Structure 1
């Protein structure tokens, strides 16, 4: 039992909080409001069971469903971000609307600053910061943009593809910072899971309304499901703020160690560092034959650490690095 608790508190804690707990909460609503209205033998047997038995069953189901949801979290996120199952015309229209909403927040924050209301300016500008720095990186949904802003951070500042080199960055960043990032992403997982749980509750309630039952209670389930999904979605967006700060810190810290993995030293000039990371992106993403055709090895050699055979020190070549 002690080993089980240690496992949950360790690596499994994020799974419990992010996916199993919200699934358990959603099933509680279904069990109390929907199951009594169902006419199947299994539903009647469940209702007549002792409370402890019902809760144990819900916990077991939550554990299984939570594990499945955690395994398919990528498509679940992509659906809410507007990347999966969205028709092209809807993506274009929603993306344009997101840009207009960002511009509206920016104008409101400028008016607040001109009026001398620093607190209102800070609150409004916080909304502006939940969008990517580049308009070309916009996603069709608010949650997609809130996540896209820190996915694009490394590329915008350093020309480093953090999605491509994420494991290099995570391995090189301080352990405490990696833990902070994992906890921040778990908070977003919790609310994303609640979005789907609440939506499923509302869907099941609507389906149950077709047959005999208790319409009043079922309509309450529909209202709670839709309202819960809406609130959870907004809270997921807000929760990305901490995730954003953690990822940015991981990029700033981890890029130094990631450069060493490739035998490189980060140059003093930021423009040269951006050239270096652009070449690294190409080396990792493309076949070596393609990199050779673009002289990527030669560009990276300008930043490689060279060992002095007469000492234990290392020196950095200072040959200029042409643009990749």
Structure 2
């Protein structure tokens, strides 16, 4: 336990807040409501003290286990793991249709507002007419305009929780909210942050890394709380089935409360990804230059040239060297410093081999 608190004070705040604290909440719910006698949380004596110590140990273990399993836990919520293929495909099609509808609603509202102010271009009048004539978009358009600017901003916010590339759309809301910033570097610069994440994380400054870690911490908190609730619900259901619970009515009420709370935590996890997305976006935008320099490359002036360079780097890291990657030589930085000069001089002065 001492090591855990020491790690929290020396940089492990993300582990403490993201995984240990939610586990403590769930352990308390389980110990007080489901198994008060076993946990000794129903007494105020030495037995209760032992129960409290036991609860702290269980909290630490559960939090560390959940933190170690965070990748598969996230993949389940993102729709990549333990999902039947037919269900994943169906959910992906639904989210793709939802993304297109949001895109059309935002575009239609923007054109309608331009039409109201008299700034609508002639070429866009036919587009606005088509939106108004559409059975679904036309019905949404009047409602969206009536709700005002704040509602339109919320619609655009929901749209921005989807990846730009339709091929990257995931089966779940959380999957799409995370995928949008996972593909940000590639869609803008062809810098695949999934391949170069550790290099990028090492190249950027400490403020950018801390901002990203703090932003993810909020999402971790809700994900850990969600899975902890599910564990408590399953354990409570087993206790009801075996007749080991002391107050069945209270356990049933707890299950009834925790089930909708899991949906709330999921929704809050999706919303919390906005800060995470902004932090990753800043890391990509500000970290490209130091990353290129750390790799011994010079960032080109033109955006097309930069995209070509990052494609080559992605390929080099992902698949290894092959002859086509000699094109990367055009972006390599010339060696500098006395060591490079001495090396070149020694090469020039070296006698030819006999």
- What SS does the aligned partner of 1:132 have? coil
1:81 lines up with 2:81 in the alignment: no
1:92 lines up with 2:121 in the alignment: no
1:296-315 equivalent positions in 2, closer than 5 A: 296-297=325-326, 299-307=327-335
Task: Give the Cα–Cα distance (whole angstroms) in 2 for the partners of residues 4 and 141 of structure 1.
Answer: 34
1:29 alignment counterpart: 29
Q: Compare the two structures and name the one with the higher helix fraction.
A: 2
Residue pair 1:112, 1:120 contacting (<8 A) in 2 also: no
Task: Give the Cα–Cα distance (whole angstroms) in 1 for the partners of residues 283 and 175 of structure 2.
Answer: 20
Q: Which runs of 5+ in 2 are unaligned?
A: 113-144, 342-354
What displacement does 1:104 show?
3.3
The correspondence for 1:256, drawn from 274, 286, 289, is 289
1:240 alignment counterpart: 273
The correspondence for 1:65, drawn from 62, 67, 80, is 62
What displacement does 1:78 show?
0.7
Structure 1 pair 308/181, CA: closer, same or farther in 2 (3 Å)?
A: closer
What displacement does 1:217 show?
0.9
CA RMSD across the alignment: 2.5
TM-score normalised to the size of structure 1? 0.86
Residue pair 1:171, 1:254 contacting (<8 A) in 2 also: no
What displacement does 1:2 show?
10
- What SS does the aligned partner of 2:195 have? coil
What displacement does 1:69 show?
1.3
Residue pair 2:32, 2:41 contacting (<8 A) in 1 also: no
Task: Give the Cα–Cα distance (whole angstroms) in 1 for the partners of residues 39 and 69 of structure 2.
Answer: 32
Say how many residue pairs are matched.
302
Alpha-carbon deviations, 1:248-275, whole Å to 9, x = none?
Answer: 1111111111112221111010000000
- What SS does the aligned partner of 1:302 have? helix
TM-score normalised to the size of structure 2? 0.79
Structure 1 pair 112/119, CA: closer, same or farther in 2 (3 Å)?
A: farther
Alpha-carbon deviations, 1:9-33, whole Å to 9, x = none?
Answer: 2221111101100001011111122
Q: Which runs of 5+ in 1 are unaligned?
A: 37-41, 314-324
1:159 lines up with 2:190 in the alignment: yes
What displacement does 1:8 show?
1.6
Structure 1 pair 202/108, CA: closer, same or farther in 2 (3 Å)?
A: farther
Task: Give the Cα–Cα distance (whole angstroms) in 2 for the partners of residues 201 and 286 of structure 1.
Answer: 44
1:231 alignment counterpart: 264
What displacement does 1:225 show?
1.8
Alpha-carbon deviations, 1:193-248, whole Å to 9, x = none?
Answer: 01101111222222222233433212111112212211111110011000000001
1:85-234 equivalent positions in 2, closer than 5 A: 85-110=82-107, 113=110, 114=112, 115=145, 117-212=148-243, 213=245, 214-234=247-267
2:38 alignment counterpart: 43
Residue pair 1:187, 1:239 contacting (<8 A) in 2 also: yes
Task: Give the Cα–Cα distance (whole angstroms) in 1 for the partners of residues 272 and 39 of structure 2.
Answer: 39
Alpha-carbon deviations, 1:164-209, whole Å to 9, x = none?
Answer: 1111111111211110100111111111001101111222222222
Task: Give the Cα–Cα distance (whole angstroms) in 2 for the partners of residues 65 and 118 of structure 1.
Answer: 45
